[in-house]
Amino acid sequence: MLSTLDIMKNEVREQRRQRGLSQIDLASGLGVSRQTIIAIESGKYSPSLPLAFRIARFFKQPVESMFDPEEEEIGG
Amino acid sequence: MKRPKGSRVYAPLGTLLVGSMIAGAVAIGHTWGDALIAEIVTVIVSLVYFFVTGRDSDVGAIYGQRSDERQQQVRASASRLGFIAAVSAAYVCAAISVASNESYWQPDVIVAVGGMGFLIGIAKYGAHDERATSVYRGVMSSGAEPDGERATDDVATPHDVEQENSQSDG
């Protein structure tokens, strides 16, 4: 089995900052915890498909522009 | 993320209930003084739980019954780790009990119940073939198939290919 990190790069932090939102604002807008926003922005957690769509809709962006699906390999 | 009303008190109340039951057992089997100590410890632990459930953190959200999807994953991973630790400890306790020629049914029960819970969890939460009947699904499946119909979709066996070839030849 190919060893990969199931973590995708994302534009959440950039989009949030462009709109002048705090992590708490975004968390309450999406119905998740502030810690989850921190984890997504820092690339430690990939959101589920429903949450990814909620994030994209929140920022009025297509999902594929919010998340980079290229997997990062960690060894072989 | 809706937070159920009163959810913050579930964990502390559960701890208080279970701890009080243990304190009651201590009162029956030991002394009232020991039971009082057990109850005091229970109340302290319950208060700590209540304090923790109010915190803006992963552990607070998990104990406060308001976890989101990532925190549910954290809880599942933590539960897995806790399960492995508990069963490993039970194995060690069983080995020590057997070696010292003492009764070992208590750790045996923990391992057996934990193992059964694990299998039930796989059966309950695992994905199953939609066409399979209840007889053929889950971990208890013997690999047998319903009459005249394969449980899996469109997978031709060598026998099927041979039959088709013989029909076309004839």
pLDDT of A3 strictly over 50: no
What pLDDT, on a 0 to 100 scale, did the predictor assign at position A62? 93
* Nearest neighbour of A45 by CB, restricted to B56, B61, B70: B70
- Give B72→chain A minimum CA distance, Å: 11
Q: To the nearest whole angstrom, how far is the Cα of B54 from the nearest Cα of chain A?
A: 13
Q: Does B68 touch chain A (CB under 8 A)?
A: yes
Residues of B with CB below 8 A from A34's CB? 56
Question: Does residue A76 register a pLDDT over 90?
Answer: no
The full 3-state SS of chain B, as one line of letters, equals: CCCCCCHHHHHHHHHHHHHHHHHHHHHHHCCHHHHHHHHHHHHHHHHHHHHHHCCCCHHHHHHCCCCCHHHHHHHHHHHHHHHHHHHHHHHHHHHHHHHCCCCCHHHHHHHHHHHHHHHHHHHHHCCCCCCCCCCCCCCCCCCCCCCCCCCCCCCCCHHHHHHHHHHHHC
Query: What are the extents of the domains in chain B?
Result: 1-67, 68-131
Disruptive mutation site among A33, A46, A49 for chain B (greatest number of B CBs within 10 Å): A33
* B58 interface with A at CB cutoff 8 Å: yes
Predicted ipTM? 0.80
The residue among B106 and A70 whose pLDDT is bigger is: B106
Question: β-strands A67-68, A9-10: how paired?
Answer: antiparallel
Mean pLDDT by 10 residues, chain B (170 residues): 68 94 94 94 95 90 91 94 94 93 91 93 85 54 49 55 59
Domains and CATH numbers, chain A: 4-70 (1.10.260.40)
Pairs across A and B, CB distance < 8 A:
30
Looking at residue B27, its pLDDT comes to: 94
Mutate to test the interface with B, among A7, A28, A35, A45 (most CBs of B within 10 A): A35
- In chain B, residues with a C-beta closer than 8 Å to the C-beta of A24 are none
Question: Chain B residue with minimal CA distance to A39?
Answer: B70
The pTM assigned to this predicted structure is 0.70
